[in-house]
Amino acid sequence: MKTGILAWMHEGNVTIPSLLFSEYRNLKLSEYDLAIVLNILAYAQKGNNFPTPEELSSRMTISINECTDLLRKMIQRGYIEIIDEYSPEGIRFEKYSLDPLWEKLVDQFMLNQKNEKELGRKSEES
Amino acid sequence: MKTGILAWMHEGNVTIPSLLFSEYRNLKLSEYDLAIVLNILAYAQKGNNFPTPEELSSRMTISINECTDLLRKMIQRGYIEIIDEYSPEGIRFEKYSLDPLWEKLVDQFMLNQKNEKELGRKSEES
Amino acid sequence: MKTGILAWMHEGNVTIPSLLFSEYRNLKLSEYDLAIVLNILAYAQKGNNFPTPEELSSRMTISINECTDLLRKMIQRGYIEIIDEYSPEGIRFEKYSLDPLWEKLVDQFMLNQKNEKELGRKSEES
Amino acid sequence: MKTGILAWMHEGNVTIPSLLFSEYRNLKLSEYDLAIVLNILAYAQKGNNFPTPEELSSRMTISINECTDLLRKMIQRGYIEIIDEYSPEGIRFEKYSLDPLWEKLVDQFMLNQKNEKELGRKSEES
């Protein structure tokens, strides 16, 4: 049993802002886009920062081609970025950055906050 | 800025076993099922343990009817359970339990472990 | 093994901003204060929002009296608050709120950001 | 505000099994040991897998010497291990592994489960 629990533990967890789940629709992302983003996070947590469409689609219900297509569109639409990093030994490698997505999520959050405040003000006036 | 960061913080995080993302396909769940499960977790973390199909679908790209349908199927297929709980004051309320899903995930994890071990044994023998 | 993994899973995780670990000293908290805060979070995650000094000290290396004392001081110094909440049935109950601590942590974070910016400006000028 | 929230987000979270907080005392660890372990986790999450006693003690209320001492004792007593890893370019580096601690935590968890079961059996018999 001990080995089992330790192996389970090693698989690890991913911690995600709840807002991603409540707002992906408002960010014009589909459930497929969401699953790609979550798997990019899951791979990164395991040390793989640039999973291939093959790797991603192997966990999903869509084909490699569909996955490539959705990835490409999320890059074009500014949700995901491919960035260059350098290892301590100076070797260049590529990785996915979800920073643009988090920016959009923060924008959406601030918009929601503003709308709620205005709603609050209106209901006070009426 | 301070208010903004505190408000952001209050939205909270959801911590999910990475295996859910790598194995939902093997568990015969779709990306829509996954998004429903994640939103059940997100609502629960906010204190709502029995979100309605309306609440769930309002965050998703699918209609209330489709959401009801997917929920019903996940209950029938034994991924989600509706259980009764009692408040300290003895008032009964219903909540979703994802325990059956976690059981299936652990089963799948143990199956993977077993397959890897056998693969290891075979490659040693050959 | 399955039962073991599921039981382990049910114990759950606590997700904490890394900054709490890097900044508690700067916030004038001791390692004992930190352990109290973490156990308040761990109890809350299990549904107990108002653990007694007995419950807290039973997990710590300090006595009930010392625990009561540290709790009282954190309340006096404005890190922890006791707030009233009402159940859906209108019954009042008390709970610990760590919101004042998170506010102080955000203040400290903003101070660090400001100092880094100034440091950056100075090193550019020189 | 947006920059502030993004910077806050980048600081990240550490996700820790609740059992570490409820059981560290039973594992014969002090609140200082706990804070060292938590900061090793926090540094690792930022990519620093081998923080020095200077780095660790700079966040704690104890001196570098005391920190070195506590670290050394946790290594001797089999809670923390120093392991060698190799970068993709074949360069060796050292890192702390907390695997021995997680093993002890799982042992303690299994002991608790066993005790609870026996307690349950006894109370049924009586």
DSSP string, C66-84: HHHHHHHHHHHTTS-EEEE
List residues of A whose CB lies inside 8 A of any D CB.
1-2, 5-6, 9, 13, 15, 17, 87-89, 91, 99, 102-103, 106-107, 109-110
pLDDT value for D120: 87
Q: State chain D's maximal CA–CA distance in angstroms.
A: 65
Beta strand B92-97 pairing with B81-86:
antiparallel
CA-closest candidate to residue B75, choices B101, B56, B49? B101
Q: What is the pLDDT of residues B81-124, one digit of tens each?
A: 999 998 777 889 999 999 999 999 999 999 999 999 898 888 87
Range scoring the smallest mean pLDDT among A15-24, C112-121, D96-105? C112-121
Q: What is the pLDDT of residues B5-60, one digit of tens each?
A: 999 999 999 999 999 999 999 999 999 999 999 999 999 999 999 999 999 999 99
Q: What is the 3-state secondary structure (H, E, C) of A62-118?
A: CCHHHHHHHHHHHHHCCCCEEEEEECCCCCEEEEEECHHHHHHHHHHHHHHHHHHHH
In the complex, which subunits touch C with 3 or more CB pairs below 8 angstroms? A, B, D
Top residue of D21, D26, D33 to mutate, by most chain C CBs within 10 Å, is D21
The confidence band for A125, taking pLDDT boundaries of 50, 70 and 90, is confident
Is residue A124 pLDDT above 90, yes or no? no
Q: A92 - beta bridge partners?
A: A86
Report the residue from A8, A13, A15 with minimal CB separation from C8: A8
**What CATH number belongs to C2-125?**
1.10.10.10
Q: What is the pLDDT of residues A32-77, one digit of tens each?
A: 999 999 999 999 999 899 999 999 999 999 999 999 999 999 999 9
Distance CA A10, CA D106 (A): 13
Sequence spans of domains, chain B = 2-125
